[in-house]
Structure 1
Amino acid sequence: MSRVVLPLVVAAMLLPIGVMVVVASAPAGGGAGFGLFANLAEMFAGGDFPVYFRNSLILSFGIGLLDVIFAGAAGYALARLRFFGGRVLFALVVGTLSLSPTVVMVPVYVIVHGLGWIDSFQGMIVPSMMSAFGVFLVRQFALGLPEELLLAARVDGAGEFRIFATIAVPLLRPALITLFLLQFLAQWDNLLWPLLVANDPALWPLPVGISQLQTEIGYDIRLMTTAALVTAVPPIVLMFLLQRYYVAGLTLGGVKR
């Protein structure tokens, strides 16, 4: 049964991509022929799409790396360091997971506006550079680190920062890469927050740029689909390159030590 169902599920998932390729390959003005490369050249010739693409890379990689650094350090500290109020702090972090992003969007926007960060990369990056989910994810993985290894490092005179950087980070690599991939994908597709903060087209990422492209070209489905096809390439490539770490990161937390 699974030999029949699974191929059908895969085909159903690949069908939208196939339709996207067909539409993006339609030549300008209709008619027969393969016009994908001409559509790509036309899309990049306008000058705006490369800017949107660059901005998406800056936001996605920047927020992903910052989340790995800050959430990784915070998650490890909450799991392995004993300090006053640690459990309360972790409870507050977990509590924020129940809040919808739209609930905190208005107060965060007020803060960003008060700091003068409207129309700036820091206004789009700083509010998302550390996620509560990232702290929770890394903490759960850090709880599974061998305590004997950490104690041996402390006996040898290693400080907590050195233990974290040289011992914990390599062991937490699947979790950190998983966090980076999840954050990268979330920011790559993020439309609402950049749309609120960035009024300058020079700062627009791909989702905002493509949404504005609809009115600029009069709903040219051919170019819109071509842009969407190009937008889908980086996440697919990144997932292909890092999939073994991603799978390890998803399964490691379910293993009882």
Structure 2
Amino acid sequence: MTRVVLPLVVAIMLLPIGVMVVVASAPAGSGLDGAGGLGGGSGFGLFANIAEMFASGDFPVYFRNSLILSSGIAVLDVIFAGAAGYALARLRFPGSRALFVLVVGTLALSPTVVMVPVYVIVHQLGWIDTFQGMIVPSMMSAFGVFLVRQFALGLPEELLLAARIDGAGEFRIFATIALPLLRPALLTLFLLQFLAQWDNLLWPLLVANDPALWPLPVGISQLQTQIGYDIRLMTTAALVTAVPPIVLMFLLQRYYVAGLTLGGVKK
């Protein structure tokens, strides 16, 4: 039964991507470029459409901005949430348990609940129409702290204790011993945060009024005003936008599985 159902599920999931590839491969004059008429062109035009997409309008700017925002937020989240999660798991200090409960409690809040006060803070700081206004509010996530903490609880205590006996400080222990062991969780966090920010539309739409700062989700919604009613190029833009997350997912999939299962190193 599984051998029948699984290929069917995969085929259904891949169907939208297949349709995008077919439409994006239509050559100019095929009737999908808003020029009218059908069958005016023939052949495989995917690479020509991609070149035309990057040559027309502001699509390269949107693509660059998405890479900056997604990579920047993901890296900062790995740094700060990784350090905080390890500290909450392995360091004992007054209020650590209450602090962890508070962090986990913020997961119950909808992002739209805190969006207005965060926007007010960003506006008062003068960060409207800046990259820091789009990056800083998301540079550390409660989910990232929770994920790294749960993974860090599985680190072997003997390694950490041996390092302390040898005179290593906590920062050195974290940098040289804990970080390599936390790699699956940190790469999982990087992947999840990158994917979330790559598709983020609402916050950049609120903070960035300057088209030069728009990422892909905001920019693609405005492309039709630049290239007209061209289904071929709009689908090409959507296909190119989907490539980086797919490639990153394939590259990090084994770390993603290890990170979500919280494997760690067991005693």
The TM-score with structure 1 as length reference comes to: 0.95
**Given that residues 26 and 46 in structure 2 are in contact (C-alpha distance below 8 angstroms), is that contact kept between their aligned partners in structure 1?**
yes
* Local SS of the residue matching 2:108: coil
* Local SS of the residue matching 1:254: coil
**Given that residues 177 and 245 in structure 1 are in contact (C-alpha distance below 8 angstroms), is that contact kept between their aligned partners in structure 2?**
yes
Report which stretch shifted further, 64-73 or 33-42.
33-42
For the aligned residues, what is the CA RMSD? 1.6
| Structure 2: gaps (5+ residues) | 28-38
Residues 197-236 of structure 1 aligned to structure 2 (within 5 Å): 197-236=207-246
- 1:256 is displaced (CA, Å) by 7.5
Change (3 A) 1:79 1:254: closer
Partner residue of 1:131? 141
Change (3 A) 1:201 1:40: same
**Given that residues 128 and 207 in structure 2 are in contact (C-alpha distance below 8 angstroms), is that contact kept between their aligned partners in structure 1?**
yes
Per-residue CA deviation, residues 19-55 of structure 1 (Å, 9 max, x unaligned), is 001111122x854332222221221112511111111
**Given that residues 124 and 197 in structure 1 are in contact (C-alpha distance below 8 angstroms), is that contact kept between their aligned partners in structure 2?**
yes
Per-residue CA deviation, residues 196-236 of structure 1 (Å, 9 max, x unaligned), is 11111111111111011133333422111100100111111
**Given that residues 79 and 142 in structure 1 are in contact (C-alpha distance below 8 angstroms), is that contact kept between their aligned partners in structure 2?**
yes
The TM-score with structure 2 as length reference comes to: 0.92
**Distance of 1:215 and 1:48 partners within structure 2:** 11
| Structure 1: gaps (5+ residues) | none
Per-residue CA deviation, residues 163-192 of structure 1 (Å, 9 max, x unaligned), is 000011000000000000000000111111
* Local SS of the residue matching 1:255: coil
Report which stretch shifted further, 33-42 or 53-62.
33-42
How many residue pairs match? The answer is: 256
Report which stretch shifted further, 60-69 or 215-224.
215-224
Partner residue of 1:67? 77
Change (3 A) 1:6 1:72: same
* Local SS of the residue matching 2:155: coil
**Distance of 1:22 and 1:30 partners within structure 2:** 16
**Distance of 1:206 and 1:85 partners within structure 2:** 42
| Residue 148 in structure 1 maps to residue 158 in structure 2 | yes
**Distance of 1:159 and 1:172 partners within structure 2:** 18
**Given that residues 43 and 223 in structure 1 are in contact (C-alpha distance below 8 angstroms), is that contact kept between their aligned partners in structure 2?**
yes
**Given that residues 155 and 266 in structure 2 are in contact (C-alpha distance below 8 angstroms), is that contact kept between their aligned partners in structure 1?**
no
Per-residue CA deviation, residues 112-138 of structure 1 (Å, 9 max, x unaligned), is 000000000000000000000000000
Partner residue of 2:21? 21
* Local SS of the residue matching 1:97: helix
* Local SS of the residue matching 1:252: coil
**Distance of 2:263 and 2:133 partners within structure 1:** 33
**Given that residues 57 and 223 in structure 2 are in contact (C-alpha distance below 8 angstroms), is that contact kept between their aligned partners in structure 1?**
no
The percent identity for this pair of structures is: 92
